[in-house]
Amino acid sequence: MAEERTYRRWLQTDLRTFEVRVEQSDLLISAERLLPELAERALRAARADLEAYLARDPEFERSLSPRAVSGDAPEIVREMARAAEACGVGPMAAVAGAVAQRVGEALLAQTRQVIVENGGDIYLYTRRPRVAAVYAGLSPITGRLGLRITRLEQPVGLCTSSGTVGPSLSFGRADAAVVLAGSAALADAAATALGNRVTREEDIEPALQWLASVGGVLGGLVVLGERVGAWGEIELTTVGRGEPGPGKA
């Protein structure tokens, strides 16, 4: 996992940055204050809620398609289920974004800005524009292309799926499928579904057309080798490794 997260060395920001790790969860957080204790409590609470539900319904973790949840399911479980239903994927496709969102929302009680990165899935609430550099594995786009985030003082999710980078399950071959949405859980699920649809260059345009049909999604980007396709509120900019940004897009 350390090798997969070398992109964290690119980070430059005006905010205070710290890491929080609990078991498999490894978060990079930027905020106006160092808040590791609060972040760890929020992370442990999110994990506890999810793990307790998985003990009751193991199929929620295994399913590759949307799954209904009980009425008393924790909010993080309901959020994942809603995102999965909207995108036609299994609920665990939304887990990294949902966890980042849960922690970020907790931190907003003590900071006016926060960026939570969880394995390339980002929740952010910011008062100034930010740039996220795109990490797309061996694609020549890696470290050269960035996404400018201009939605200010409102929660945004920016999440990535890849068929060539990292351990996450993808049925496609996109080097990066990136989604911007008003919810990090939704962005995470949508990025998985977007990436699943891309195995060759000809798939990029119809995959982005599908993405445009998903309510709550603001924009998306697909990288396949040297080919790039984008739709919606995706403002592209050139960057160099080490340029400012919240982390891996």
- pLDDT per residue as tens digits for the range 149-192: 999 999 999 999 998 876 666 778 999 999 999 999 999 999 99
Lowest-confidence pick of 169-178, 197-206, 237-246:
237-246
Residue 177 token pair:
């499928």
Exposure string for 202-229, b = 16+ CB within 10 A, e = fewer: ebbeebbebbeebebbbbbbbbbeeebb
Q: Is the model's pLDDT at 26 over the cut of 70? A: yes
What is the distance between the alpha carbons of residues 201 and 229, in angstroms, rounded to a whole number? 9
Half-sphere exposure of 38 (CA within 13 A, CB side): 16
Q: Cβ distance 20 to 114 under 8 Å?
A: no
Helix (H) or strand (E) holding 180: strand 176-181
Distance, CA of 179 to CA of 19 (rounded, Å): 24
**What is the biggest distance separating any 2 CA atoms in the chain, rounded to whole angstroms?**
48
| Distance of alpha carbon 56 from alpha carbon 45, whole angstroms | 17
Q: What residue spans of the chain are helical by DSSP H? A: 36-56, 59-62, 75-87, 95-107, 184-196, 204-212
At 169, is the secondary structure helix, strand, or coil? coil
**pLDDT, mean of residues 49-77:** 96
Domain boundaries, the chain: 6-238
What pLDDT does residue 103 have? 98
Domain covering 6-238 assigned CATH 3.30.1330.40 in the classification: no
Residues 62 and 172: their CA atoms lie apart, in Å, by 19
241 has pLDDT over 60 = no
User: Burial of 126 by CB count in 10 Å (0-12 exposed, 13-18 middle, 19+ buried)?
Assistant: buried
**pTM: predicted TM-score of the whole model, two decimal places:** 0.90
